[in-house]
Amino acid sequence: MLQKVLIANRGEIAVRVIRACHELGLRTVAIFSEADRHAMHVYYADEAYSVGQAQAKDSYLNIEKILNVAKMSEVDAVHPGYGFLAENHEFAQACIDAGLIFIGPMPHAIATMGDKVVARSTMRKAGVPVVPGTEGESNLRDDEILAIASKIGFPLLIKSAAGGGGKGMRRVNDKSMMMNALSEARRESAAAFGNDSVYLEKLIQGARHIEFQIIADNYGNVIHLGERECSIQRRHQKLLEEAPSVILSDDIGLRTKMGEIACLAARSVDYVNAGTVEFLLDEDRNYYFLEMNTRLQVEHPVTEIVTGVDIVKEQIRIARNRRLSRQQHEIELKGWAIECRINAEDSYSDFIPSIGTINTNIVPTGPGVRVDTGVYPGYTISPHYDSMISKVICSGKTRGEALLRMRRALEEYRIVGVKTTIPFHQKLLNSHRFMAGQFNTSFVDEDFSLGGRSDTDDEIAAVFAALAAHQYRQQAAYVVQRGKRDASNWKWVGRWERMHR
């Protein structure tokens, strides 16, 4: 019986999973680090237990502590979310050994796909086309890699075998850069994953990142829920995703083919539960297996909206040993959905993380708008975890409607206290190439600039600033007059004076 679930995660995804459990009538257990006592997932769960200090390795990555909580709170199952332990096959195995249901694939599937080098060779054997690069061998020495690099040709990518999220990844344009990039990639990889093994991939120019959502039950049924277009990336970090893809919407045959290949990839590792098969699609519409993420994906909501399948509920259904609720022919992509990741980063200062307390948090609402978030007014963004504040997902009958709705939603969103990526998304939505669907994975890094302003509201900005300056000036004068020492006002006086030196 699956009646009580521990969510081994934090932030928006912990909240997302708790919501699905509540809607299924399941009891939920949250875990939290000392830095997260005030996090939303702690409030929303039925039970909540501390698992240690703020640093992830002492809490959210501490398998022993988490399993102790699972035992003590007598849960039946564990949902890992994404990140942290979600793709750690030892954690999955430890859950199973403790008699718990791990809501995800079997450890061997996680392990196979987790080592990107092994995954590539497994896929190649199964008949799935992979990006050209190093073949079959793990733990290559520098000299071996250099020799292979020349065969593959430049530009190419050095990638971490244990990798993910762009860590330990380097682009190499010519042979002279190779040694330097290799040692950097090894160092970063070792720091991030405790493993400095790397491999090479040919850099496919002008490629799109297209991924397929897979679900599979314990009875050998594997279906896909269509594709997501995730080419809007900055330094290999996804920023905006949509479902379906502009390309595959015009080429149903290609969608069918890629979907079948994605299912084949999943079958080749006896995949169970939800997962994502990532492809690169080049300008000639050749597709190459990139990697498989053996977990729930950040961007799963866009697929939920166009297919009507609640993926988290489906994960739990599969974990309960039920058959998939639908067959492939019942999956129809209807309408369009777009997700913008709102991060606590300064769009105007090279996306540097922004720490602070969110004072105002008015989320956009109304028709066709979904927000998945783990923050609320009064919540403090800490430096310990990732910078995601929320995901805004907008949908409509057409891509156009979804885009216009997203524009409207971002304009309504009010976050005060930290800088966010909202301005970036607003700019992106106004870019003609994005609107036309003409972009690839290098678009944001190479062809897009935040500088160009969409409006020429210089005059309005001038009035805003003059009015604010006037107000502070008067307040400052008032404070000085009254001879009161109010710290917050003195700060303004100080600033005022500094600005007028």
Partner 1 sequence: MKYLATVNGTKFEVDINEDSHVTVDGERYEIDFRAIGNGPLYSLLIGGNSYEGHIEATDDGWQVLHKGDLYMVEIEDERSQRLMSLGGAVASAKGDYYLKAPMPGLVVSVTVEEGQEIRQGDILVVLESMKMQNELKSPRDGTILRIQVNPEDTIQQDAVLLVLSPSDDQ
Catalytically active residues, by annotation = 295
Residue from 175, 187, 323, 397 in contact with its own copies (CB under 8 A): 397
Residue placing its CB nearer to its own copies in the complex, 258 or 394: 394
Q: What are phi and psi of 287, to 5 degrees?
A: -115, 150
**3-state class percentages of the chain: helix first, strand second, coil last, to nearest 5:** 40, 25, 35
Q: For residues 114 and 94, what is the distance between their CA atoms, to the nearest angstrom?
A: 17
Q: Does residue 354 bind partner 1 (CB under 8 A)?
A: yes
Which residues, including other chains, have CB under 8 Å from residue 123's CB and lie 6 or more apart? 130, 265, 268, 289
Listed ranges 30-38, 175-183, 241-249, 312-320: which one lies at the site for partner 1 (CB under 8 A): 30-38
Q: Is 496 in the site for partner 1 (CB under 8 A)?
A: yes
- Binding part of the chain for its own copies, among 198-206, 270-278, 281-289, 408-416 by CB under 8 A, reads 408-416
CB atoms within 10 A of CB 465: 10
Token pair recorded at residue 314: 């489906």
Cis geometry, peptide bond prior to residue 155 (ω within 30 degrees of 0): yes
Supply 50's token pair.
Answer: 């501390």
In angstroms, give the least distance from the CB of 376 to its own copies: 5
Among 147, 179, 465, 477, binds partner 1 (CB under 8 A): 465
Q: Give the residue, chosen from 80, 83, 301, 417, that forms a contact with its own copies under the rule CB under 8 A.
A: 301
Per the structure block, which two tokens stand in for 478? 């008032």
How far is the C-alpha of 23 from the C-alpha of 405, rounded, in Å?
Answer: 27
**Amino acid identity, position 476:** A
For its own copies, the binding residue among 330, 411, 486, 497 (CB under 8 A) is 411
For residues 91 and 484, what is the distance between their CA atoms, to the nearest angstrom? Answer: 59
Check residue 390 for interaction with partner 1 (CB under 8 A).
Answer: no
25 binds its own copies (CB under 8 A): yes
Which residue, 245 or 426, has its beta carbon nearer to partner 1?
A: 426
Out of partner 1, its own copies, none, which partner does residue 108 contact, by CB within 5 to 8 A per kind?
none
29 three-class SS: strand
Beta strands across the sheet bearing 208-216: 287-293, 273-281, 208-216, 222-234, 237-243, 336-343, 388-396, 369-373
Among 462, 480, 484, 486, binds partner 1 (CB under 8 A): 462
For the four alpha carbons of 490, 496, 500 and 501, in that order, the dihedral sign comes to: positive
- The item of partner 1, its own copies, none sharing an interface with residue 133, based on CB under 5 to 8 Å by kind, is none
Task: Tell the residue number behind the tokens 């762009």, with chain if given.
Answer: 166
Compute how many residues bind partner 1; rule: CB under 8 A: 67
Angle at 481 between CA 477 and CA 486, to 5 degrees: 80
| Distance in Å, CB of 20 to its own copies, minimum | 8
How many chain residues are in contact with its own copies, going by CB under 8 A?
Answer: 36
Chain residues that interact with its own copies, rule: CB under 8 A: 15-16, 19-20, 22-25, 44, 301, 304, 308, 310, 335, 360, 362-363, 365-373, 376-377, 397, 401, 404-405, 407-408, 411-412
Chain residues that interact with partner 1, rule: CB under 8 A: 29-30, 37-38, 42-49, 72-73, 344, 348-350, 352-355, 359-360, 377-378, 383-387, 410-411, 414, 416, 422-423, 425-427, 453-455, 457-473, 492, 495-496, 498-501
